[in-house]
Amino acid sequence: MFAHFPFRRRWLSITLIFTLWLSCHLIFTSCNPANFKTQAAQVSQWVTTTLGDPKTFNYAFNQEYPHVFLFTAEGLTTLNGMTGKIEPALAEYWDISDDKKLITFTLREGLKWSDGEPLTADDVIFTYQDIIFNPKIPTDWKDGLKVGSSGAFPKIRKIDNRRVEFTLPEAFSPFLYTSTGPSTNSIGILPKHALEASLTSQDAKGNPQFLSTWGTGTDPAKIIVNGPYKIESYAPSQRVVFRRNPYYWRQDSQGNQLPYVERIVWQIIESTDTMILQFRSGGLDTISVTPENFSLLKREEKRGKFTIYNGGPEFNTNFLSFNLNKGRRNGQPLINPMKSRWFNTLAFRQAIAHAINRKAMLLNVYRGIGTIHNSPIDPQSPFYTPPNKDVKIYDYNPEKAKELLLSAGFKYNTRNQLLDADGNRVRFTLLTNVENKTRVTMGAQIKQDLSKIGIQVDFNPMTFNTLTDKLSNSYDWECYIGSFIGGAEPHDAANVWTPDGGLHVFNQKPLPGREPLIGREVPEWEAEIGRLYIKAAQEFDQNKRKQIYAETQRISQEYLPFIYLVNPLSLAAVRDRLQNVKFSALGSQRGALWNKYEIKVAE
């Protein structure tokens, strides 16, 4: 540095540099989560992180991951992150009739909510009957419980304070899986005594007050939960602090109350680079490891006193998707009709798939730490079928992409720019969330790849909140890079694949209470995938179910509502002072650690 400064300016430069360093040091250390503990309250805690603010404190409306309910909520059952087996949670055990149509859950004795009120069968009835089965409540939980082609819900009956009985209209193999709470983003039990009034009262538009109840502006003391932790405080763009729930039901083998750790700080850090800085400085105890920072962190394991855990490929599908919705709202099409014609042309989507160099993405973006993906079913799922002659694979082939486009009526001008049949330049906007550095890098590569076949991509990373509003509310988007968290049970994605599902983003139906769409169309292939998901849920023979899901893989790869990209490995760095860590891709929960109630902190 000094070689570039005249000698007489060196002292001034040194002083200025020292002043800037000292200022940055003071700012950084004052914001460091490690300093969150005060001298007056030295309690056991561990600090983890997330990219963005929570969107809701009402579990019925959650559409994000990770989320606060990983800490605060439980279902009747749970999924063991190591074995993948369904285990008892709020329900101590359950009985299933021989015909698989009657399931009786028995709750644990003495269950309580975080405010000390009893948790009984009335809360289970309330959650299912008054919330999920209520047509005025737009919760994604509905999609997982619609049984058969009729989409009928189970009937639920209270036997006594500890027992509830579900009667299914027909055999429904995923039913138990839908009860596993936040371990699989499934149904968690909500408190009747705290929320019942919000269902019977209405807002100015005649909608239940429940729709706006427990937003993120709610006093945390009023949010009643049944999980290992309750929300103690929330500072937007800073942190969510969770405090041990004194009424949580779990105990260890010696009868000690769980969880062991008194407090968890969920630091909100909107930059993965800043996350790494804070982890390396000791401010964070757990962090998701990305391909960009793996090598750096791996070298520092011993010095930094942490361990990088590898759970194998993530239960996560990264994809590029086009908006195929032909609907109109208030007389205006959601998508420019010219672009809608492009997006709904099968050869166009297949050309895009051939034009994306996923091998280069794996090597350059993911540093080889991941796998190329070709299926809506996670490879770790027992229902996954490896690609075969019946399932299309879109290898990188720009010339093949051009052939497909020319066969569909597109053409090239003298500058090798792609035009449609009417001479319009093919150009569209690609979105993703700016907080995710990996996706931003993926988007930059896709922009470059598609330019090689004459397409201009306007890449526009934006905040996660803005993106989710476009996807789930305004539907004002053309193309985006996103991901879905998966699991061992494919029916988890019923709300993605059924045409009326709450996450059927590529051709979304308006949710209750939203402005209607006119002219939305559901093509036969799209409807067929929905029917196959219903059929698979009716089948209990695992081999037959696998065959049905294999057909959904074939159709989805043929018609490409999602162009699958690269899946990362499930990696997390965890401080060695955190004990009893059990890590797997199935239960990694982005550094939140699925067995958080068993975690101990060695100070």
SS (H, E, C) 372-424: ECCCCCCCCCCCCCCCCCCCCCCCCCHHHHHHHHHHCCCEECCCCCEECCCCC
What amino acid occupies position 444?
Answer: A
Read off the pLDDT of residues 375-425 as tens digits, 9 standing for 90 and up. Answer: 999 888 889 988 877 889 999 999 999 999 999 999 999 999 999 999 999
pLDDT of residue 32: 55
Whether 1 is covered by a domain: the verdict is no
Whether 186 is covered by a domain: the verdict is yes
Q: Is 211 helix (H, G, I), strand (E, B) or coil?
A: helix
Read off the pLDDT of residues 296-307 as tens digits, 9 standing for 90 and up. Answer: 999 999 999 999
Task: Please say which residue of 147, 163, 197 terminates a domain.
Answer: 197
Task: Please say which residue of 169, 197, 225 terminates a domain.
Answer: 197
**CATH number of domain containing 374:** 3.10.105.10
Whether 538 is covered by a domain: the verdict is yes
Q: Which domain holds residue 114?
A: 59-197
The answer to whether residue 325 scores a pLDDT higher than 60 is: yes
pLDDT of residue 3: 35
Please choose, from the candidates 524, 505, 529, 405, the residue with its C-alpha nearest in 3D space to the C-alpha of residue 455. 405
Q: How many domains does the chain have?
A: 2
Q: Which residues pair with 570 in a beta bridge?
A: none
Read off the pLDDT of residues 543-593 as tens digits, 9 standing for 90 and up. Answer: 999 999 999 999 999 999 999 999 888 899 999 999 999 888 876 555 668
Against a cut of 0.95, is the pTM above it? no
**CATH number of domain containing 130:** 3.90.76.10
pLDDT of residue 464: 87
Q: Are residues 513 and 378 in the same domain?
A: yes
Read off the pLDDT of residues 431-490 as tens digits, 9 standing for 90 and up. Answer: 999 988 889 999 999 999 999 999 999 999 999 889 988 998 889 999 999 998 877 889
Contacts for 506 with CB less than 8 Å, ≥ 6 apart? 321, 322, 323, 324, 325, 561, 562
pLDDT of residue 21: 42
Query: What's the angle, vertex CA 127, arms to CA 177 and CA 502, rounded to 5?
Result: 65
Whether 551 is covered by a domain: the verdict is yes
User: What CA–CA distance (Å, rounded) separates 339 from 456?
Assistant: 13
pLDDT of residue 122: 98
Whether 405 is covered by a domain: the verdict is yes
The answer to whether residue 41 scores a pLDDT higher than 60 is: no
Q: What is the mean pLDDT of the chain?
A: 89
Q: What is the dihedral of CA 498, 503, 507, 511, to 10 degrees?
A: 100
Residues in the chain, total: 603
Q: Are residues 190 and 323 in the same domain?
A: no
User: What CA–CA distance (Å, rounded) separates 33 from 281?
Assistant: 10
Whether 268 is covered by a domain: the verdict is no
DSSP 8-state assignment for residue 3: G
Task: Please say which residue of 174, 197, 220 terminates a domain.
Answer: 197
Confidence grade of residue 158 (pLDDT, cut at 50, 70, 90): very high
pLDDT of residue 162: 97
Contacts by residues 400-406 (CB-CB < 8 Å, ≥ 24 positions apart): 400/351, 400/354, 401/351, 401/352, 401/354, 401/355, 401/453, 402/351, 402/453, 402/454, 404/347, 404/348, 404/350, 404/351, 404/354, 405/347, 405/348, 405/351, 405/453
Whether 512 is covered by a domain: the verdict is yes
Residue 198 token pair = 């919000």
pLDDT of residue 216: 94
> What value does the mean pLDDT take over residues 261-273?
92
Whether 121 is covered by a domain: the verdict is yes
